[in-house]
Amino acid sequence: MTLLSIDELKTLIEQPQNHCISLYMPMQKAGPEIRQNPIRFKNLIREAEERLDAIGISQTEAENLLQPARELDTSDFWEHQDHSLAIFISPKVFRYYRLPIELQELVVVSDRFHLKPLLHLINNDGKFYVLALSQKDAKFFEGTRAGLNEVEVENMPRSIDEALQYDETAKEGQFRIATSKGSNTNPFTRSQPGAFHGQGSPDRDQHQEVILQYFYAVDAALHEKLQEQTAPLILAGVEYLHPIYREANSYPYLHEEGITKRPELFQPEELHTEAWQIVEPLFHKPEKDAIELFQQLAGEGTGKASSDLKEIIPAAYYQRVDSLFVPLGKQIWGEFDPDNMAVDLHPEPEPDDADMLDFAAIHTILNGGNVYTVEPEQMPNDAPAAAIFRY
């Protein structure tokens, strides 16, 4: 199974061909209901066969096309599921994804994959990092909405003791070891970590200097790892370590809010929950800013914003849409004729129809625009779609 990412999504978008089958299925993860998963899966496959028959595909060709999906139907496959399953099939493509959000059941057969249900996951599943620090341990994680994965960072010391062992190689330039203001010596050469006594005492100040140098070494390793990245970094550790690490930090996206608890007390799931509460609002901010801009432009009557789907669809096709809002869990079926700029909408899907909301979303992405999938009640002006135009 391939992991879902924005790059993977673009790969699916950029491979239009005939007979693209998109299957979405919410999963039961516990209890006796899990026995329904294989049954519902077979029903989806049968519905896909009916859709292929409706557009003139022979039974043999349809069976061959759907055979890779049928081969998934094993007990081992059903034992390892998440909240939803998405499958994409065409003559040259077969992909499936276990998804951490619940999606409605849906079968679409068209000349492109139906990808709109995935956009909400991509838009609001942004990558972030967690650095969990203590004097005896340092761990680095990559995270998304779905969870945290620990990542090994080359040359990153895992403790003060390990940083002390690296001191000689640090002198040779492997780490960026700095000295505090007013000091011209490396504290690693004159101090050992240990107990200290009294606030402001020489022992305490010297020990904090050792911690600072340890954090410089951690930051130097992360600098190599993160130099091309822009995802937020969340620091987790006891409170007094936060300002010391921030002095050493060179990553510009270290978030001002951190987790002030002992990381060793966390299970990864708990650490993820704490971090996600901090970063989730960051991923929604572009959406909120875009909605405010849409409301402003719509009120000014400049023609740079519209909630008319018959205007939005050709605009998306011809690269005019900068930002598009579409509702979650809704489809509007129809066809678009680019030669005549004509949009024909149907109350029920007909053979060769496409979801026009999906069509607009995919072309907006292909043309470098932004797509925001929102709950229907959060749509600007309660419209079926809303767009900000480039011109």
Domain total of the chain: 3
Question: 175 and 274, same structural domain?
Answer: yes
Give the pLDDT confidence of 17-33 residue by residue, as tens digits. Answer: 778 999 999 998 766 77
Mean pLDDT for 125-144 is: 89
Question: 237 and 139, same structural domain?
Answer: yes
- Which range marks the domain in which residue 252 is found? 128-281
Question: 167 and 273, same structural domain?
Answer: yes
Give the pLDDT confidence of 209-263 residue by residue, as tens digits. Answer: 999 999 999 999 999 999 888 899 999 999 999 999 999 999 999 999 999 987 7
Q: Determine, yes or no, domain membership for 310.
A: yes
Determine which of 5-9, 315-319, 337-341, 343-347 has the lowest per-residue pLDDT on average: 5-9
Question: 146 and 70, same structural domain?
Answer: no
Please say if the pLDDT value at position 123 is more than 90. no
Cα distance between residue 177 and residue 278, in whole Å = 31
Mean pLDDT for 67-80 is: 90
| Domain stop point among 91, 114, 137 | 114
The SS3 assignment for 267 reads coil
Give the pLDDT confidence of 274-285 residue by residue, as tens digits. Answer: 999 999 888 888
Query: What confidence category does residue 306 fall into, taking pLDDT thresholds of 50, 70 and 90?
Result: very high
97's CB contacts (< 8 A; 6+ apart) are 1, 2, 3, 4, 85, 86, 87, 118
The pTM of the whole model exceeds 0.85: no
Question: 110 and 42, same structural domain?
Answer: yes
Q: Determine, yes or no, domain membership for 296.
A: no
At 178 the pLDDT is 46
Q: What are phi and psi of 258, to 5 degrees?
A: -125, -175
Give the pLDDT confidence of 177-220 residue by residue, as tens digits. Answer: 444 444 444 444 433 333 333 445 555 667 889 999 999 999 99
**Helices and strands of the chain, counted as H and E runs:** 12, 15
Q: Determine, yes or no, domain membership for 286.
A: no
Question: 160 and 38, same structural domain?
Answer: no
